[in-house]
């Protein structure tokens, strides 16, 4: 226990001899013995006699030589720092006037009070545990900040320290009023955590509250355990800044923030500005998807009303991504990614609307992203294969050529058709190395067929994206591959879509002309669905038109023909023939279609009526069959 000191000072003669009382020391002095007189300047200072009391400090008290216990007691009572002496059971033994002034009470009244109650140490379980460890000697010191109540009713913040007293028999409790510092910190934090334009919580505070909401929802037994988020972006806000200036733009953002706050106020939802013209509304303990959808509708309706900003009447709209789900297992990163994705969907679907998060649509997006990011490595690992679809003479039924169609044997998603990855390859530029691989593989295969069947060589047709013309030297690639494989140029046909070829000028047109001069055939794929600028046909080095399958649909049955389709196809065939071009009909699915298309002049046909795309060995068998049939006839 820490005891209080009750010593009396004694005065001595003019030499001011000092005597001390204590326990025997190493020199054999007994308690109460006086020290010898010393007159030399460099001798050890002596002390006047002290009467020991209950609170007299013992060895190890830390008091410097010559200091009297009463000096420390006087310092304790006159100190401006609020202090109390506490025993090992946590009871207050003595409190100084500064502590009484801090709490607004007589310090004598604080004696025997529980220090934990006095300092509010029981309110926080962690602080209470650490405090008891200090009392038991298992912890050296406790330092914490607590909110205390003054007797006049006002609250104050105090920094509280509890540590062993110098005599190690009691504890010293000290309290420092940090209310001013706390207020300053609060004001600084408010500035740091709020947006200066809209006065809403900013991105930092929003994520702090979001993390807290997710954490507390998992343990809150009275709540719904769900969380919702409306993530919105103003449509066309950049135009306001660009035309009217940032001053008007900031005023508009402030007006938008006010309306959002009004929409969120009935439910007590958090509204934050995340940056630029992006805002978020956080719904804790959501009752379900419908609550979030109702909130999104309310926000859209509120923002559709015009704004009066510095003499300007402005109208804005917003796109909103809505996410609602159980809080358990949800991470802030996932929630924001889902909200951002859903906001993108809302803009993609036409803006000025809200869109609810769709897991299936998101899975498709994630798959698309995964495919896009692994396309180039897949080319290097040769995960692609080529199937070939026959091109057959419509009149004689003879196999004339094949179209090479690429497939991706994906290790996770299985075999993928071209429509799953070709658009991605064109977007990220992987179409260049992929197209080069397809071209080389197809030419190697065509050369193998030519060697095996020199009398009936097949033309191999390879699709080429316009980006291959722009992003690579297609002419050089084709020349090098033909030289590498030994395939004659006239056995290679390159297919480009009509939209890519029509209107070509400069480099693309020059590349096509050089390829044609090499002897390579050029075909226009899906003809009739793009620009259909017939004037270009006389200027382009094209040898074949491939009619889009939509024209062939009208030839499905003789009972229900489409005269318009037949008239258009017949006119296109006649025009092509007059220009010296051959015509291939795509998507031929029946004998009736094949017969009628052949009758009006189409040269070759391609479709499931003849064969689906098949591996190279199946084409080898077809070559042999076609050769035998031709010999028999």
Please say if the pLDDT value at position 389 is more than 90: yes
Give the phi and the psi of residue 254 in degrees, each rounded to 5. -65, -40
Alpha helix segments (H runs only) across 502-615: 507-518, 549-552, 563-578, 591-599
For residue 145, what is the enclosing H or E element?
Answer: strand 142-149
Joined together, the tokens standing for residue 260 give 């959002």
Cross-strand bridge partners of residue 586: none
Alpha carbons 324 and 330: distance in angstroms, whole number: 11
Is residue 63 within 8 Å of residue 75, measured between CB atoms?
no
Q: What would the pLDDT profile of 99-113 be if each residue is shown by its tens digit?
A: 999 999 999 889 889
Structure pTM? 0.60
Joined together, the tokens standing for residue 595 give 């017969």
Please say if the pLDDT value at position 56 is more than 50: no
Go through the chain and tell me how many residues it has: 633
What's the mean pLDDT in 417-436? 92
Residue among 428, 533, 440 nearest 486 (CA): 440
For residue 253, what is the enclosing H or E element?
Answer: helix 246-264
pLDDT, position 25:
41
pLDDT, position 449:
95
Is residue 281 within 8 Å of residue 299, measured between CB atoms?
yes
Collapse the DSSP code of 497 into the 3-class scheme (helix H, G, I; strand E, B; otherwise coil) and give the result. strand
What is the DSSP code string of 283-329? EET---HHHHHHHHHHHHHHHHS-EEETTEEE--EEEEEEEEEESTT
What's the mean pLDDT in 328-337? 92
Collapse the DSSP code of 476 into the 3-class scheme (helix H, G, I; strand E, B; otherwise coil) and give the result. helix
Label residue 37 by pLDDT band (50, 70, 90).
very low
Residue among 138, 322, 103, 292 nearest 231 (CA): 322
Please say if the pLDDT value at position 7 is more than 60: no
Q: What is the DSSP letter of 533?
A: -
Please say if the pLDDT value at position 411 is more than 60: yes
What is the DSSP code string of 398-425? -EEEEEEEEEEEETTTEEE-HHHHHHHH
């Amino acid at each position: 226990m820490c005891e209080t000191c009750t010593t009396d000072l004694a005065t001595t003669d003019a030499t001011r001899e000092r005597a001390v009382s204590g326990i025997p020391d190493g020199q054999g002095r007994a308690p109460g013995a006086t020290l010898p007189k010393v007159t030399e300047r460099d001798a050890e200072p002596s002390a006047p006699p002290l009467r020991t009391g209950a609170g007299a400090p013992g060895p190890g008290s830390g008091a410097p030589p010559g200091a009297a216990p009463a000096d420390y007691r006087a310092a304790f009572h006159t100190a401006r720092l609020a202090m109390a002496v506490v025993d090992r059971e946590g009871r207050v033994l003595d409190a100084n006037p500064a502590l009484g002034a801090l709490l607004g009470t007589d310090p004598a009244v604080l004696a025997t009070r529980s220090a934990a109650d006095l300092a509010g140490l029981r309110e926080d379980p962690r602080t209470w545990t650490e405090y008891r460890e200090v009392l038991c000697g298992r912890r050296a010191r406790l330092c914490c900040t607590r909110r205390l109540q003054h007797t006049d009713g006002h609250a104050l913040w105090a920094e509280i320290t509890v540590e062993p007293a110098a005599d190690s028999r009691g504890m010293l409790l000290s309290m420092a009023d940090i209310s001013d510092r706390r207020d300053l910190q609060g004001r600084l934090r408010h500035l740091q955590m709020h947006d200066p334009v809209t006065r809403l919580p900013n991105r930092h505070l929003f994520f702090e509250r979001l993390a807290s909401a997710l954490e507390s929802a998992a343990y809150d037994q009275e709540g719904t355990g769900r969380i919702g988020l409306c993530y919105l972006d103003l449509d066309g806000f950049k135009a306001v800044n660009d035309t009217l200036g940032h001053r008007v733009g900031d005023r508009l953002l402030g007006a938008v923030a006010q309306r959002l706050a009004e929409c969120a106020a009935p439910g007590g939802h958090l509204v934050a500005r995340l940056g630029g013209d992006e805002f978020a509304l956080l719904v804790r303990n959501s009752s379900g998807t419908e609550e979030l959808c109702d909130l999104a509708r309310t926000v859209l309706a509120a923002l559709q009303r015009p704004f009066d900003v510095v003499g300007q009447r402005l109208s804005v709209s917003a796109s909103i991504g809505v996410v609602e789900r159980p809080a358990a297992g949800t991470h802030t990163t996932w929630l924001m990614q889902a909200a951002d994705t859903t906001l993108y969907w809302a803009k993609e679907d036409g803006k000025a609307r809200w869109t609810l998060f769709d897991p299936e649509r998101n899975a498709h997006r994630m798959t698309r992203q995964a495919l896009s990011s692994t396309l180039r490595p897949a080319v290097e690992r040769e995960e692609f294969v080529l199937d070939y679809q026959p091109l057959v003479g419509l009149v004689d039924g003879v196999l004339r050529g094949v179209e090479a169609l690429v497939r991706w044997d994906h290790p996770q998603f299985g075999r993928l058709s071209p429509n799953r990855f070709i658009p991605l390859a064109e977007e990220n530029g992987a179409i260049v190395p992929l197209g080069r691989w397809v071209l080389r593989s197809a030419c190697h295969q065509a050369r193998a067929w030519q060697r095996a069947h020199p009398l009936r060589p097949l033309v191999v047709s390879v699709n080429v994206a316009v980006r291959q013309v722009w992003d690579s030297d297609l002419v050089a690639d084709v020349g090098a591959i033909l030289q590498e494989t030994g395939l004659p140029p006239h056995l290679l046909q390159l297919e480009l879509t009509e939209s890519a070829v029509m209107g070509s000028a400069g480099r693309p047109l020059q590349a096509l002309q050089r390829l044609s001069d090499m002897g390579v055939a050029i075909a226009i794929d899906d003809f009739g669905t793009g620009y259909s600028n017939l004037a270009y046909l006389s200027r382009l080095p094209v040898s074949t038109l491939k009619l889009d399958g939509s024209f062939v649909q009208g030839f499905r049955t003789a009972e229900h023909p489409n005269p318009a389709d037949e008239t258009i196809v017949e006119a296109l065939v006649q025009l092509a023939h007059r220009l010296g071009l051959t015509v291939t009909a795509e998507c031929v699915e029946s004998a009736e279609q094949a017969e009628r298309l052949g009758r009006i002049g189409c040269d070759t046909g391609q479709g499931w009526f003849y064969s689906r795309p098949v591996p190279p060995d199946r084409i080898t068998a077809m070559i042999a069959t076609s050769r035998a049939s031709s010999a028999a006839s």
